[in-house]
Structure 1
Amino acid sequence: MPTFETLSRFTADLQHLTPAQRWRFRRVVLESFVPDLRTGWLFRPGLRVKGVRIAPGVYELIRAPDGRATWSYGRELRGGERHIVWCGIGTHEIRIGP
């Protein structure tokens, strides 16, 4: 299982989501994102993961028509396991840059 951490902005953003939005994010992460991280470097086509042009090293996971979470790879904490740093979550209006 990949390790993860959340930035304070992610934690604050998460509180603004509805329970249904939080549930959908959790389901996408557990059922698609984590299994794809375990199997290799590629994400399934339906998952919609892409780099953020204005913030090198930051990626977005589009989880709904108007919902996304931004994240980056952190330093590996456990041998052979990816470490994910969740940066922000919300609609497409969430701030990306520093």
Structure 2
Amino acid sequence: MPTFETLPRFTADLQHLTPAQRRRFRRVVLDSFVPDLRTGRQFRPGLRIKGVRCAPGIYELTWAPDGRATWSYGREQIAGTLHIVWRRIGGHDILAGP
């Protein structure tokens, strides 16, 4: 399982989501994102993961029709284990400041 950290802005964004939205995000991460990270292959198309334009090293994940989360790879906290830094979460508008 990868390790995770959240930036303060992600934590603040998360508080603006409904409980149902938070559950959906968590389900997508645990059921799709983490298993794809473990295999080391490409992410499944449904996650629509792509790099954020004009923000090298930052990626966008789609977790709902208007649900986006941005993330980057961070420095390993445990040798040989990927570390994910969650940056923003919300609607499409978060991409203006990923």
Shorter-chain TM-score category? Answer: over 0.9
User: Counterparts of 1:1-98 in structure 2 under 5 Å?
Assistant: 1-97=1-97
Q: CA deviation at 1:93?
A: 0.7
Tell me the C-alpha RMSD between the 2 structures.
1.2
Q: Is the 8 A contact 2:59 2:71 kept in 1?
A: yes
Deviations 1:38-71 (A, max 9, x none): 0004101112111001211000001111110000
* Structure 1 portions without partners, runs of 5+: none
Tell me: CA distance 1:95–1:46, structure 2 relative to 1, closer, same or farther (3 Å): closer
Query: What SS does structure 2 have at the residue aligned with 1:22?
Result: helix
The TM-score normalised by the length of structure 2 is 0.94
* Structure 2 portions without partners, runs of 5+: none
Runs (4+) of structure 1 exceeding 4 A deviation are none
Q: CA deviation at 1:96?
A: 4.4
How many positions carry a matched residue from both structures? 98
The TM-score normalised by the length of structure 1 is 0.94
